[in-house]
Chains A and B, each alone.
Chain A
Amino acid sequence: MPDFLLEIGCEEIPARMLDDAREELSRRVKDLIVREALVLEEGLVIESFSTPRRLSTVVRKIASTQADTTEQVLGPSVKIAYKDGKPTPAAEAFAKKVGLDVSKLEKVSNPKGEYLAATITRKGRGAVDVLSEFLPKEIASIYWPKSMYWRPGKTERFVRPIRWIVAVLGGQVVPVEFAGIKAGETTHGHRILAHGPLKVSDAAQYTVLLEGASVIADSKVREHRIRKALDAETRSVSGARWREDADLLQTVVNLTEWPSVVLGSFDRQFLSLPEEVLVTVMRDHQKYFAVEDASGKLAPHFLAVLNMDADADGLIRHGNERVLRARFNDARFFWDTDQKLPLVGRVEMLRAVTFQKDLGSYFAKAERLVHLSGELSPILDSVGRKVDHAAVAEAARLAKTDLTTELVKEFTELQGIVGGLYATAQKHSQAVADAIYDQYRPESMDDAIPRTLEGALLSIADKADTIAGMFAMGLVPSGSKDPFALRRQANGIVRTVAGHKLPLKISMLMGQALKGYAGGDAIKKFSQQGEAYAKAIQGFFRERLEFFLREQGLAYDVVNAALAAGDDDIVDVVARAHAVAAVRPSADFESISTSFKRMKNILLQASETKKRVADPYDPASLKEEAEKNLAAQAPEVASLVKSLGAKKEYENALREISRLRPPIDAFFDKVMVMVEEEDLRATRLGLLQMLVNDFSSIADFSEIVTEKK
C-alpha cells in the first residue's frame, strides 16, 4: 500500500495563482486515482503543498495495482453463430476478437433471444503504469491565467518553465515525462539556504525532508509562522499592533519558502502625508505590513516578510528602510508637485486621458457626469432629501482630474482618494471632497458605500455611465467574461441605492445615462439602443438585484416572488422582499400562496383553452355562498392593502391579504370554477383574475415554494 508523491518544480509561480493551482493539481491527481480504481477501501488521504517553486500532492496509501475485472461481452446471436451445430465465421470472428477459443464461448439468453457471450478477465494495471500514462496530461491541463512557452520548437505551455519533477510511489520513481523533464526522486530546497539537491525516498517524509532544506511546503504552516513572527517583531514597539491584511498575508505566504520578519522604521516626518498614501506605498508597492500605535494611528514602522532565515547584520532591514524612504520621498515629491496645479486647472487635461477607446476621453465622461448627476439630484429633492446640488456638480466636474496627478499615475489604486484629499487641501467644501473621495465605492462586497448623498449620486452616475456606454456597444458581460467589471459596478449601484434608500428607478437611471452619450462620437459605435438596450439592462440588473437580495440571506423563492412583482425600483423590491420573508413562516401565508398558485393555474388553463374571463365580473351573477362571501370581502381587503402599500407598509399589507385565507379556502372547497355554464364560469374566472390582479403588486405568491403541491 504505497504512498505517492508528485512535485512539480517550477521557476517562481506568481503568488496570486499559487493557491488555485495547488488545489487544482491535487484535485486532478485525486480524480485520476479514483477514475483508475486505485483507491483502497479505507479511502483517500490527500495532502497538497505549494511554495513559489513547487506544487506538490501527497496521496497516502493507494493500491499498487488495479483489481482484476471480469466482464461479459455479447457476441452474435446463436442462430447466426451456428449452422448445423458448427460454428460459422461469425462465431470464429467473435472468438478471435475476445481472444478465446470457440469452445470457451458461452450462451446467454435475453429478451431478444439467445446470444453468444464471452467472459473476459482484464488484468489490473500497476499504479506506476497508470500514473505514468495519465499524469502528463493532468499536469498539462492545469489552468493558468497567463502562461508561456519556453522550449525551442515545442508548444507546451505552463506558468513558468518547469525545472524538475518528482514522482515517487513507494520509493519507486514513476516514469512521468512532461515538457522534456523526466520525473525523478530529486528535489531542491531553498534557493540560497539549502545545500544541494535532495533525494526523496519516502513520500510520507516529504515535508520533513524539505524543512531540513529550509522550505516549509505547507502554506498554512508558513502563514502561522509569519503571523507569529509579525506578533513577535511588533512587540518590540510598546503598545503597537500590526494591521491585519488578509490579501497581503496570502501574498507573502506565497512569495516565501522560509519566511521570517523584520521590523523597520521610517522618519516620523512622513506621517504628515495622508495615511492612505503611506499604507498604499507600504502594502501595494513594498508588501509591508503597516504598524499602528495603541490609539490606532499609523506608527513610523513597517514589517517586511523575508524569504530568508534571519537578518543577522541588519543589512536587509537597512535596505528595506532605504527603499521605503525613497518611495515616501517620491510620494511627497508627487504630492508637492501636484499642488502646483489645482484640480480645477486639470479639467482640460482630461481630454488626453482615455476613458475607454471607443467611449472617448475622461473629459467627455466628466461632462456626462455633471449632466447625469444634475438630472438625479432634483429627484432626491422631490422626496425631501437634502442634497447640495452645487457640490454634486462640482464633484462631478473634478472627479476624474486626479487621473492627471503624479500621485495617481504612480499609485493608481489611490484614484478618487487622492482627488478627495487634494480637494480638501485646495479648500473645496467637505461635501465636494467627500464625494470625490468616495466615487469608486463600493469597490467590493466588503467595501463601504459612499458616506454622503452627494458621494452616492456621483458614484451611481459614474457607474451608470460606464454600464450604459458598454451595453450600448454590446459589450455585455457573459458567463465568466466581464472584463470591465460591469457586474461589480452594477452591484455597487444596487448597494448604494438600497443603502441610501434613493428613489432612483433603474430604467430611468440607465435611460438618462444613455442619453448622456447623445451628440458625441461614441454613439457611432453603438449597436444596441432603444428596446434592445432597455431589455438587456433590465435583465442584467435583475440578476444583480437577485444577487444582492440573496446576499442578504433571503430565500430564492422569496426573492423571485418579490422580483416578479417589479424589479425597477430597488428600494421598493428590497422592502417587499423583506416583508415577504417576514410573513413567509406563517401558516396562513403558506396556504394563500398555494391558493394563488391554483388560481394562476386555472387562469392559465382558461386562457389556453380560450375561455372567456368576465372583466369586470358581476358579483350578482355568483351563486354559491362561499363565492359571494369571497367576492364581498376581497374589495375591502384590496383597498386596505392598496393604502398600506402606498405607505410602503408591506408587511402589514401582506398580513391583511392573509386574512383572506378562510374565504379563499372555503371558495376552493365549495366552488367549482370550470363549470359548463359559460356565464357562470366567466364570472368565477373574473373573480379569480381580480384577486390575482389586486394582490400581486407586492409579490407574486405563486413563486413561493410551498410544501404541499
Chain B
Amino acid sequence: MSPETFLRVLGPQPYRVAYVQPSRRPADGRYGDNPNRLYKHMQLQVILKPPPENVQELYLESLAAVGIDLRKHDLKFEEDNWESPTLGAWGIGWQVMLDGLEVTQFTYFQQCGGIDLDPISAELTYGLERLTAFLQDVDSIYEIAWVRDAEGQSVSYNTVRHQDELQLSVYNFEFADVQKAWKHLELYEAECQALLDRYQALSSDKNAGEAEKKRFPLLGAYDLCLKCSHLFNILDARGAISVTERVGVIARIRQLAVGLAKAYVAQQTVADQKGQVA
C-alpha cells in the first residue's frame, strides 16, 4: 500500500491523487505460464478524499474516457469489501464487473492503521492489465501490446514482463532464503520500531522544536513497515510460516502500521499549526 494511500487517507485534509502502483503478490506468481495471473500487476489507484457525491458517475465517465461505450456493455457493481489485516485497514465497496470481468475494486475506506477515518476516502483500483486486455480484445495478458509505433509494430507485454514473472516466481517460490528473510523481517521491524520510539520521545519532549518534529522521517519508517509486509508475503509464499507464527507476525506488522498511522496524524497536526502561524 503506497504512502499516497495509506498515509493520505488519514487525518482531515482533503486530498485527491491518481497514480500507477505496481502490486507485488509473491504467492500469485505463476512462472509466466498463466495467461491471467501475475506476481506483479499494475494498478491505477485513485484516492478521492472525501468522495464526491457523484463518485460513481465520475467512475463511469472514466471508463468512457478510455474508450468503453457503456451502452454496448454490461456493467454491474457487485458487493466486495476489502481488508488488509496487516495494515489495520478495511473498507466497504464493490468489484465492478464489465461483461463478466472484474475491472475495478471500488472501496469506501472506513479504517486505516486501526484509525476510524473522517472523512472517509473512496479508493478506485483499476486493474490495468485486465482493462487493457479487454480494450485490445486479447485472451492472455502476455499478448497485450505494451506500445505501438506509427507503423503498427508493437512491443508486447510478454517482451517487457515475462522474464520478470518467471524469475521472480522462481526466486519467491524456490530461492528466497527463508532464514535470511526472517532475519530481514526482524531487522526492518526493529528499525521501524526504533524510529517510532524516537518519534514518540520527540513528540513528548517539550523542548523539541516544531521543525524538528516535522522533518522526522516517518515516511522512512513507513517504507520499512512495507518491507516487513512484503517479506511476510515472501515467507508465506515459501510456506514457511506456521499457523501459530502467522497470527503473531500479522499482529507485529499491524502494530507497526497502527503506530505509524497514529504518529503520522500527530505529525500532520504539528505541520498544520505551523502553517497557520505562517
Is A bound to B?
A: yes
A interface list, Cβ under 8 A from B: 11-12, 14-16, 52, 146-153, 160-161, 163, 191-193, 255-256, 286, 288, 304, 306-308, 311-313, 315-316, 318-320, 322-326, 329-330, 333, 349, 351-355, 357, 360-361, 521
Q: Please measure, in the bound complex, the distance between the C-alpha atom of A147 and the C-alpha atom of B92, giving whole angstroms.
A: 8
**Interfacial chain A residues near B241, Cβ < 8 Å:** 352
Minimum distance in angstroms from B220 CB to a CB of chain A: 30
A12 with B243: in contact, given A150-B51, A191-B75, A326-B35 (CB under 8 Å)? no
B99, closest chain A residue (CB)? A319
Q: Kindly provide the distance from the CB of A336 to the nearest chain B CB, expressed in whole angstroms.
A: 10
Please indicate which of the listed interface residues B78, B81, B240 has the most CB atoms of chain A within 10 Å of its own CB: B78
State in angstroms the CA–CA spacing of A192 and B59 once bound together.
13
Q: What's the minimum C-beta distance from A270 to chain B, rounded to whole angstroms?
A: 14
Of chain A, the residue at the smallest CB distance from B36 is: A326
A15, B79: Cβ atoms closer than 8 Å: yes
Given contacts A153-B118, A256-B76, 18 further A-B contacts (CB under 8 A): A12-B79, A12-B94, A15-B79, A152-B50, A191-B75, A307-B74, A312-B72, A315-B73, A316-B72, A319-B134, A323-B99, A326-B36, A329-B35, A349-B239, A351-B243, A357-B243, A360-B243, A361-B243
- Selected from B108, B119, B137, the residue in CB contact (under 8 A) with A148 is B108
B98: nearest residue on chain A (CB-CB)?
Answer: A319
Q: How large is the interface on B (under 10, 10 to 19, 20 to 34, 35 or more residues)?
A: 35 or more
Are A150 and B76 touching (Cβ within 8 A)?
Answer: no
Q: B152 at interface (Cβ–Cβ under 8 A)? A: no
- List 29 interface pairs A-B (beta carbons < 8 Å), by A numbering: A14-B78, A14-B79, A15-B78, A146-B92, A147-B92, A148-B91, A148-B110, A149-B120, A152-B50, A153-B118, A191-B60, A193-B71, A255-B76, A307-B75, A307-B76, A308-B73, A311-B74, A312-B72, A316-B72, A316-B73, A319-B73, A319-B134, A322-B137, A323-B100, A326-B139, A329-B36, A351-B242, A352-B243, A360-B244
Whether B34 sits at the interface, judged by CB under 8 Å, is yes
When the two chains form the complex, which single residue of B35, B77, B110 contacts A149, counting CB atoms closer than 8 Å? B110
Nearest 4 A/B pairs, CB to CB: A319-B99, A14-B79, A12-B77, A152-B119
A316 partner, pick from B50, B74, B137, B139, beta carbons under 8 A: B74
Bound Cα distance A16, B94 (Å): 13
Q: Within 8 Å of chain A (Cβ to Cβ): is B33?
A: yes
Chain B residues near A160 (CB-CB < 8 A): 92, 108
Contact B98 A52 (CB under 8 A): no
Q: Which residues of A contact B25 (CB under 8 A)?
A: none
Chain B 114-125 interface 0/1 with A at a Cβ cutoff of 8 Å (1 = within): 000011100000
CB pair A192–B120 under 8 Å, yes or no, is no
Q: Are B239 and A352 in contact (CB under 8 A)?
A: yes
B201 at the interface (CB under 8 A from A): no
Q: Say whether B70 contacts A192, CB under 8 Å.
A: yes
Closest to A336 in B: B33
Cβ of B269: which chain A residues have Cβ within 8 Å of it? none
Contact B71 A11 (CB under 8 A): no
Residues facing A in B42-98 (CB within 8 A) are 50-51, 53, 56, 60, 70-79, 81, 91-92, 94, 98
Residues of A near B183 (CB, < 8 A) are none
A333 touches B34 (CB 8 A): yes
Q: What A residues does B94 contact at CB under 8 A?
A: 12
Q: What's the Cα separation between A388 and B99 when bound, in Å?
A: 49
Contact A333 B33 (CB under 8 A): yes
The one of B56, B91, B137 in contact with A11, judged by C-beta atoms closer than 8 angstroms, is B56
Q: Contact at A163–B53, with CB atoms within 8 Å?
A: yes
Per the bound structure, the CA–CA distance linking A286 and B139 in Å amounts to: 17
How many Å from the CB of A262 to the closest CB on chain B?
8
Q: Is the CB of A316 within 8 A of B243?
A: no
How far is the CB of B278 from the nearest CB of chain A, in Å?
26
**Inter-chain contact A315/B72, CB cutoff 8 Å:** yes
A24–chain B nearest beta-carbon distance, Å: 18
Rounded to whole Å, the gap between the CB of B235 and the closest CB of chain A is 10
Q: Answer yes or no: B17 CB below 8 A from chain A CBs.
A: no
Q: Give the distance in Å from the alpha carbon of A324 to the alpha carbon of B119 in the complex.
A: 39
Q: Are B101 and A357 in contact (CB under 8 A)?
A: no
Name the residue in B53, B100, B239 with the highest tally of chain A Cβ atoms < 10 Å from its Cβ. B100
Query: B13 to chain A: closest CB distance in Å?
Result: 12
| Residue of B whose beta carbon sits closest to that of A350 | B243
Q: Does the CB pair A330–B37 fall under 8 Å?
A: yes
Chain A residues with CB under 8 Å of B240's CB are 352
Output the least CB separation between B214 and chain A (Å): 25
Residues of B within 8 A of A316 (CB): 72-74, 99
Contact of A354 among B74, B91, B239, B243 (CB under 8 A): B243
Q: How far apart sit A353 and B239, CA to CA, in the bound complex (Å)?
A: 9
Contact status A330-B36, CB under 8 Å: yes
Instruction: Tell yes or no: B247 within 8 A of A by CB.
Output: yes
The contact of A324 among B76, B100, B239, B243, by CB within 8 Å, is B100
Complex-state Cα separation, A52 to B76, whole angstroms:
10
CB-CB nearest in chain A for B120? A150
By a CB distance below 8 angstroms, the chain B residues around A357 are: 243, 247
Task: Name the distance in Å between B51's Cβ and chain A's nearest Cβ.
Answer: 7
**B100 to chain A: which residues have CB within 8 Å?**
286, 288, 304, 319-320, 323-324
Contact call B242/A361, Cβ cutoff below 8 A: yes
Cα A318 to Cα B72 with chains together (Å): 12
Q: How far is the CB of A215 from chain B (nearest CB, A)?
A: 15
Complex CA gap A286/B140 in Å reads 18
Q: Is B246 among interface residues, defined by CB-CB distance under 8 A?
A: yes
Residue of A nearest to B51 (CB): A150
User: Which chain A residues lie closer than 8 Å to B118 at the CB level?
Assistant: 152-153
Q: A365 to B245, alpha carbons, bound, how many Å?
A: 17
Question: Does A255 contact B53, Cβ atoms closer than 8 Å?
Answer: no
Please indicate the chain B residues that have their CB under 8 angstroms from the CB of A313 in the complex: 72
CA distance in complex: A247, B77 (Å): 18
Nearest Cβ in chain A — how far from B35, in angstroms? 6
Most chain A CB atoms below 10 A, which of B33, B34, B53, B76: B76
Given A163-B53, A353-B243, residue A308 in contact with residue B36 (CB < 8 A): no
| Distance of A703 Cα from B166 Cα, bound (Å) | 72
* Contact residues, B112-148 vs A (CB, 8 A): 118-120, 134, 137, 139
- Report B-chain residues with C-beta under 8 Å of the C-beta of A352: 239-243, 246
Interface centre among B50, B72, B75, B137, by most chain A C-beta atoms within 10 angstroms, is: B72
Q: Closest chain A residue to B116 by CB distance? A: A149
Q: Nearest A residue to B240 by beta-carbon distance?
A: A352
Q: How far is the CA of A151 from the CA of B78 in the complex (A)?
A: 22
- B109 to A, closest residue via Cβ: A148
The interface residues of chain A lying within 8 Å CB-to-CB of B75 are 191-192, 307
A582–B53 CA distance with the chains assembled, in angstroms: 66
Cα–Cα, bound, A256→B92 (Å): 20
Residue ID in chain A nearest B81 by CB atoms: A146
CA distance A163 to B53 in the complex (A): 7
CB distance from A344 to the nearest CB of B (A): 17
Interface bits B140-161 vs A (CB < 8 Å: 1, else 0): 0000000000000000000000
- Check A148–B92 contact: CB distance below 8 A: yes
Chain A residues in 8 Å Cβ range of B120:
148-150, 152
CB nearest to A363 among chain B residues:
B243
Q: Give CA–CA (A44, B21) in the complex, Å.
A: 56
Contacts of A286 in B (CB 8 A): 100
Cβ of B56: which chain A residues have Cβ within 8 Å of it? Answer: 11
How far, in Å, is A484 (CB) from chain B's closest CB?
Answer: 17
Tell me the bound Cα distance from A160 to B35 in angstroms: 35
Given A304-B100, A325-B139: A330 and B108 interface contact (C-beta under 8 Å) = no
A326–B118 CA distance with the chains assembled, in angstroms? 40
- Rounded to whole Å, the gap between the CB of A352 and the closest CB of chain B is 5
Shortest CB–CB separation between residue A21 and chain B, in angstroms?
13
A351 CA to B99 CA, complexed, in Å: 40
Nearest-neighbour CB distance to chain B for A660, whole angstroms, equals 61
A16 vs B80: C-alpha distance in the bound complex, in angstroms? 12
B101 touches A330 (CB 8 A): no
Q: Which residues of A contact B98 (CB under 8 A)?
A: 319
CA A445 – CA B269 in complex, angstroms? 57
A-chain residues with CB within 8 Å of residue B137 when the two chains form the complex:
318, 322
